[in-house]
């Protein structure tokens, strides 16, 4: 029995079925909001919701019973993730005061796409692994933002648009400038206050662009060096074998010269 | 006879002639719209259109008769593509009610540039091959967009600009934010409603930028790993040959020590 | 004498002096416009202009006389480039009717920075070499732009902003959308005309982004393959040498087994 | 004693403590501005400031006394950097006329994050090393900007928005166009003056994009060639060893054929 469940839970059609159901369900949920159709199609959506809930419970059960030792199921982070999503969205609080929140909660069912498709799991794992490598980038950007924000909220405090009114607003404004979003509007306004304000903005744009560009290059080069390390291992193995060959040859030569 | 057609259809001057004719024709068609010149030059354009149609029929005939077995012509997807374009734009519906649509249809003649130039065919093939590799990226972006769209249309439903009125509009607004297009305008409006709305927008911008950046790196690294695989094959061949060499040497040593 | 000129024209300080003079001169010329200082400092600028003209004539003479055979000077494209710039900006039409144009012409003296600095020459050579590789990219983008422009000027002809009035304007509008510059303004306006216009704009943005992204990757991969080809040559040389080694060893073995 | 200080100053917890204190302090300083809380929490902030100052003095003392020969401390640029920051922000000018400036100066304490975290030091070193490699890029961009700025301030001098009024403004406007920030607004305004102005703007956008794109590729390729050089060294070592092997084998063959 466990074997049957195991076979089902690892089969491609099972994961594809789940993906299809989630996407269809997501579109229906989106469509519901779109067409304000809750009144007319309210019942239909209620039943679809019901069916999807049942499918989710069945799907997770199959995967649960596919485990030889049941507690192993909870050893995988992704399984716990699925379990929590299914559990939360199954609780029947639809008719209670929390109905609106419950409806929003159902949105997170779309997250099950990640666990239903192994390729997506890999991408997410890769993204999570990439987080520590950006800690220092974030720190460096924080330093630059921080210095510019404090100086900005000191010099441009009197700006009418209030874009440098306080530290948080200044940080937001700098982030906006980083994305090049209407950054000249801010600059032109600041230049009316102080004629040389362009130095502040241009230097910020150039410094952050330079930092981000170099860190981008650094990430690519870093990844390539990891790849090359493997190649270097291969080459050093070659060298070892050639060295061995040489020692054999020298033995031969000695043997002959005897 | 087939050989002559074959030689012509594979010659560089033939493809260059076709490219030149298509580009000239495209500019004349564009110029016609530009200068509203249809009235004065109507006849001229009519004749040019006629000539291009004839050239296209001749060109495809030459390529058709260049095939030893005629049905092989339709085995290439690009040939069918050409045939359909030539056929559709040849049908004389210019004088009928569908004249306007027919005129627009002629635009697709510019697509024949792709088949006329082998380098472009290669690029298109490369682009088509790249599509499956982005399925999971699209899925991941869909998940992020979906969650933000539903949450957005829940929290920002009362926005005056109506940018989060329904699911589709919210998706459009999020796509707009992804391209950094006036995204702060939306944020500032939302911040008037809820003071902490910036968390929604900044998190969306940072998450999508992080995801896209990492997927971009992943594509480059992936391509390089494919290239390295070939190198690794070369190195393993080297190792095999050195191993063979070693066995010969050991035989020599044994022979000597006898 | 030729040797002395040759030594000077190849020395680092000579090129650095020229670079410094050109940059200083460029800033003075820019400053002149900036401060509307022509009236007060008119004489000063006149003399500086005079001095720079003389320096340029001397500099090019030194480089000319550094050639053993004088006509070799004109064999280098960069020398002709310099000669033309010096010649044009030396002609004394300052007092004639063409004074304004002459003043603008002097701007091109800044182009001499390229020839004065060998590193810049290399970059320019690299850029020129890169042009043919983008011919097909340009053609492909032309096809996409062309089709969207014609369809756009057909569907959105009645747009109040007139952004799709004719073929050229439509091309400009599409280029603007490519740079993400206020592209949603156009889309929102078009959506008032036809409700589904967003398909036109979103598809254009995604297709062009996809094409450019893939061509970007293709350029990097292409460059790397060129680099790897050299590595492959090295490895194939290694294989040849190992093959030779093997044949020697086989001879040894035969010799012994005799 | 020196050994104890040395151990402390190199320990991970010491650097982490410093990083935590600086970030906390930075947020408190930012929060102070944000909430206009100086009046209520004035005393609290005064004491925190006091404590941080003391911590900084202690921290730098530990690192100073960790050196066997004290003057070696000042041989590291980073130590001098730290010393200057601690010294400047310690001077008690809080109550004097320069209070406002002193408060802004304290902002630079956040720069100590760089020295407190070795990874950040490495990134900064990398960024500084990258500066000379962009000298020529800057020169080339300067040439392009310069020529466009002079031509622009000549043709578009009468623009109502005054975006090409003088050389500096024209440079700013071109930088804005480079970032694609509302660049079409400038173009549309210029096109009302001269119908063909779009050539100026489109050519500027395409040329700068082409230059920056190619220089970006060049940086990646350059870094990779440096990496490959090491690989090539490895391969040439392999070849040397195989050549040696060959000479031994040839000796063996001769020995046998005697």
Position D41 scores a pLDDT of: 58
Q: Are residues A241 and A141 part of one domain?
A: yes
Determine the average pLDDT of the residues in D140-149: 92
Q: What share of chain A is helix, strand, coil (3-state, %, to 5)?
A: 85, 0, 15
B127 touches chain C (CB under 8 A): yes
User: Chain B residues with CB inside 8 Å of C257's CB?
Assistant: 255
Q: Do A107 and B205 touch (CB under 8 A)?
A: no
B33 touches chain C (CB under 8 A): yes
Q: Do B215 and A117 touch (CB under 8 A)?
A: no
Q: What is the C-alpha to C-alpha distance for residues A109 and A84, in angstroms, rounded to an integer? A: 10
A186 within a domain of the structure (yes/no): yes
Q: Are residues D188 and D161 part of one domain?
A: yes
Kindly indicate the confidence band of residue C161, based on its pLDDT and cuts at 50, 70 and 90: confident
Q: Do B183 and A180 touch (CB under 8 A)?
A: no
C58 within a domain of the structure (yes/no): yes
Q: Do A237 and B239 touch (CB under 8 A)?
A: yes
D221 within a domain of the structure (yes/no): yes
- The answer, yes or no, to whether residue A175 has pLDDT greater than 90, is yes
B149 within a domain of the structure (yes/no): yes
D234 touches chain A (CB under 8 A): yes
User: Chain B residues with CB inside 8 Å of A175's CB?
Assistant: 202
Q: Which of B8-12, B202-206, D38-42 comes out lowest in average pLDDT? A: D38-42
A38 touches chain D (CB under 8 A): no
- The answer, yes or no, to whether residue C144 has pLDDT greater than 90, is yes
Q: Which of helix, strand or coil describes residue C154?
A: helix
- The answer, yes or no, to whether residue D78 has pLDDT greater than 60, is yes
Please spell the DSSP secondary structure of A166-223, one letter per residue.
SHHHHHHHHHHHHTTSSHHHHHHHHHHHSTTHHHHHHHHHHHHHHHHHHHHHHHHHHH
CA D66 to chain C, closest CA, distance in angstroms equals 45
- The answer, yes or no, to whether residue A92 has pLDDT greater than 70, is no
Position B32 scores a pLDDT of: 66
Show which of residues 158-197 on chain C sit within 8 Å of chain D, judged by CB atoms.
172, 175-176, 179-182
Question: Chain D: residue nearest C122 by CA?
Answer: D136
Question: Chain A: residue nearest B168 by CA?
Answer: A34
Q: What share of chain D is helix, strand, coil (3-state, %, to 5)?
A: 85, 0, 15
Highest mean pLDDT among A115-129, C182-196, D42-56, D123-137: C182-196
Position D143 scores a pLDDT of: 92
D226 touches chain C (CB under 8 A): no
Q: Do C36 and D166 touch (CB under 8 A)?
A: yes
Tell me the two tokens of residue B75: 């085995």
Q: Do A168 and D34 touch (CB under 8 A)?
A: yes
Position B143 scores a pLDDT of: 92
CA A217 to chain B, closest CA, distance in angstroms equals 10
Q: Do C228 and B231 touch (CB under 8 A)?
A: yes
Q: Which of helix, strand or coil describes residue C178?
A: helix
Position A42 scores a pLDDT of: 61
Q: Are residues B156 and B105 part of one domain?
A: no
Q: What is the C-alpha to C-alpha distance for residues C84 and C89, in angstroms, rounded to an integer? A: 8
Tell me the two tokens of residue C162: 């007139």
C26 within a domain of the structure (yes/no): yes
Position D82 scores a pLDDT of: 85
Q: Choose one of B89, B116, B143: the last residue of a domain.
A: B116
Chain-wide mean pLDDT for chain D? 82
- The answer, yes or no, to whether residue B222 has pLDDT greater than 80, is yes
Q: What is the ipTM of this complex?
A: 0.84
Position D179 scores a pLDDT of: 93
Q: Are residues B148 and B87 part of one domain?
A: no
Position C42 scores a pLDDT of: 60
What is the domain count for chain A? Answer: 2
Q: Do A150 and D126 touch (CB under 8 A)?
A: no
Position A40 scores a pLDDT of: 59
Q: Do A245 and B250 touch (CB under 8 A)?
A: no
Q: Are residues A164 and A226 part of one domain?
A: yes
User: Chain A residues with CB inside 8 Å of D115's CB?
Assistant: none
Q: Are residues A232 and A136 part of one domain?
A: yes
Position D95 scores a pLDDT of: 58
Q: Do D238 and A243 touch (CB under 8 A)?
A: no
Percentage of chain C exceeding pLDDT 70: 90
Q: Are residues B192 and B82 part of one domain?
A: no
Nearest to D32 by CA among B229, A154, C21: A154
CA distances from residue C45 to C20, D148, D165 in whole angstroms, order as listed: 17, 21, 20
Q: Are residues D181 and D89 part of one domain?
A: no
10 Å CB burial of residue A48 (0-12, 13-18, 19+) is: middle
Among B167, B180, B197, the strongest candidate for a mutation testing the A interface, having the largest count of A CBs within 10 A, is: B167
Q: What is the C-alpha to C-alpha distance for residues B134 and B147, in angstroms, rounded to an integer? A: 20
User: Chain B residues with CB inside 8 Å of C198's CB?
Assistant: 172
D122 within a domain of the structure (yes/no): no
Q: Do B167 and A111 touch (CB under 8 A)?
A: no
User: Chain D residues with CB inside 8 Å of C176's CB?
Assistant: 184
Determine the average pLDDT of the residues in D130-153: 88
Chain B adjacent subunits, 3+ CB pairs under 8 A? A, C
Out of B110, B124, B256, closest to residue C147 by CB: B110
Tokens 């589709």 map to which residue?
A: B168
Q: The CATH number of the domain where B33 resides is what? A: 1.20.120.350
D207 touches chain C (CB under 8 A): no
Nearest to D237 by CA among A238, C25, C182, A203: A238
Position B98 scores a pLDDT of: 63
Q: Which of A182-196, B210-224, C86-100 comes out lowest in average pLDDT? A: C86-100
Q: Are residues A165 and A56 part of one domain?
A: no
Q: Choose one of C89, C116, C143: the last residue of a domain.
A: C116
Nearest to C104 by CA among B164, B257, D152: D152
CA distances from residue D140 to A143, A176, B29, D134, D188 in whole angstroms, order as listed: 30, 28, 39, 10, 27
**DSSP run (H or E) holding D196:** none
Q: Are residues C71 and C173 part of one domain?
A: no
C151 touches chain B (CB under 8 A): yes
Percentage of chain B exceeding pLDDT 90: 17
Q: Which of helix, strand or coil describes residue C190?
A: helix
CB A54: neighbour CB atoms within 10 A? 11
Q: Which of B91-100, B114-123, D205-214 comes out lowest in average pLDDT? A: B91-100
Q: Do C223 and D221 touch (CB under 8 A)?
A: yes
Question: Chain D: residue nearest A255 by CA?
Answer: D252
Position C103 scores a pLDDT of: 67
Q: Do C110 and D146 touch (CB under 8 A)?
A: yes
Chain-wide mean pLDDT for chain B? 82
Question: Chain D: residue nearest A140 by CA?
Answer: D120
Q: Which of A20-29, A91-100, A173-182, D166-175 comes out lowest in average pLDDT? A: A91-100
A223 touches chain B (CB under 8 A): yes
Q: Which of C197-211, D1-15, D132-146 comes out lowest in average pLDDT? A: D1-15
Position D42 scores a pLDDT of: 60
- The answer, yes or no, to whether residue D31 has pLDDT greater than 80, is no
Residue B130 vs residue B91, higher pLDDT: B130
User: Chain D residues with CB inside 8 Å of A221's CB?
Assistant: 220, 223-224, 227
Chain-wide mean pLDDT for chain C? 82
Tell me the two tokens of residue C186: 């156009």
Question: Chain A: residue nearest B165 by CA?
Answer: A34
Q: Choose one of A116, A139, A169: the last residue of a domain.
A: A116
Position A257 scores a pLDDT of: 73
- The answer, yes or no, to whether residue C38 has pLDDT greater than 70, is no
CA A185 to chain B, closest CA, distance in angstroms equals 12
Out of D151, D238, D253, closest to residue C251 by CB: D253
Determine the average pLDDT of the residues in B80-94: 76
Kindly indicate the confidence band of residue D64, based on its pLDDT and cuts at 50, 70 and 90: confident
The contacts of residue D132 (CB under 8 Å, 6+ apart) are none
Tell me the two tokens of residue A61: 């059960």
- Which domain, by its residues, includes D163? 131-252
Q: The CATH number of the domain where C168 resides is what? A: 1.10.287.70
Q: Do B111 and C147 touch (CB under 8 A)?
A: yes
Determine the average pLDDT of the residues in D30-56: 70
Structure confidence by residue, pLDDT tens digits, B176-213: 999 999 999 999 999 998 889 999 999 999 999 999 98
Position A33 scores a pLDDT of: 57
B86 touches chain A (CB under 8 A): no
C225 within a domain of the structure (yes/no): yes
Kindly indicate the confidence band of residue C16, based on its pLDDT and cuts at 50, 70 and 90: confident
- The answer, yes or no, to whether residue A64 has pLDDT greater than 90, is no
Percentage of chain D exceeding pLDDT 90: 17
Position B2 scores a pLDDT of: 76
Determine the average pLDDT of the residues in D145-156: 89
Q: Are residues A151 and A38 part of one domain?
A: no
Q: What is the C-alpha to C-alpha distance for residues D30 and A1, in angstroms, rounded to an integer? A: 62
10 Å CB burial of residue D45 (0-12, 13-18, 19+) is: middle
Out of C35, C107, C134, closest to residue D150 by CB: C107
Q: Are residues D157 and D63 part of one domain?
A: no
Position C108 scores a pLDDT of: 80
The contacts of residue B66 (CB under 8 Å, 6+ apart) are B2, B5, B6, B8, B9, B10
Q: Using alpha carbons only, what angle is made at residue B64 by residues B59 and B67, rounded to the nearest 5 degrees?
A: 135
- The answer, yes or no, to whether residue D97 has pLDDT greater than 70, is no
CA D161 to chain C, closest CA, distance in angstroms equals 16
Nearest to C219 by CA among B126, D109, B141: B126
A50 within a domain of the structure (yes/no): yes
Residue B40 vs residue B115, higher pLDDT: B115
B224 touches chain C (CB under 8 A): yes
Position D100 scores a pLDDT of: 66
Q: Do D167 and C256 touch (CB under 8 A)?
A: no
Out of B26, B36, B180, closest to residue C146 by CB: B26
User: Chain B residues with CB inside 8 Å of C166's CB?
Assistant: 33-36
Say what the pTM is. 0.86
């Amino acid at each position: 029995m466990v074997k049957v469940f195991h076979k089902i839970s690892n089969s491609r059609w099972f994961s594809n079925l789940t993906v299809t159901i989630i996407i269809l369900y997501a579109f229906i949920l989106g469509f519901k909001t779109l067409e304000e159709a809750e009144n007319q199609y309210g019942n239909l959506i209620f039943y679809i919701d019901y069916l999807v809930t049942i499918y989710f419970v069945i799907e997770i059960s199959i995967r649960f019973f596919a485990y030889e030792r049941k507690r192993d199921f909870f050893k995988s982070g992704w399984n716990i993730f699925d379990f929590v999503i299914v559990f939360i969205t199954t609780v029947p609080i639809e008719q209670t005061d929390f109905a609106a929140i419950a409806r929003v909660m159902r949105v997170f069912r779309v997250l099950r796409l990640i666990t239903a498709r192994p390729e997506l799991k890999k991408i997410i794992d890769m993204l999570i692994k990439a987080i520590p490598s950006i800690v220092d980038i974030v720190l460096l950007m924080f330093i630059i933002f921080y210095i510019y924000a404090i100086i900005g909220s000191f010099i441009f405090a009197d700006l009418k648009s209030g874009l440098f009114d306080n530290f948080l607003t200044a940080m937001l404004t700098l982030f906006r400038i980083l994305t090049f979003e209407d950054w000249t509007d801010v600059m032109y306004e600041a230049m009316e206050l102080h004629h040389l304000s362009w130095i502040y903005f241009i230097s910020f744009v150039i410094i952050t662009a330079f930092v981000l560009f170099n860190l981008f290059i650094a990430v690519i080069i870093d990844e390539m060096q990891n790849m090359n390390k493997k190649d270097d291992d291969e080459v050093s193995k070659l060298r070892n074998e050639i060295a061995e060959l040489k020692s054999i040859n020298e033995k031969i030569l000695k043997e002959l010269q005897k």
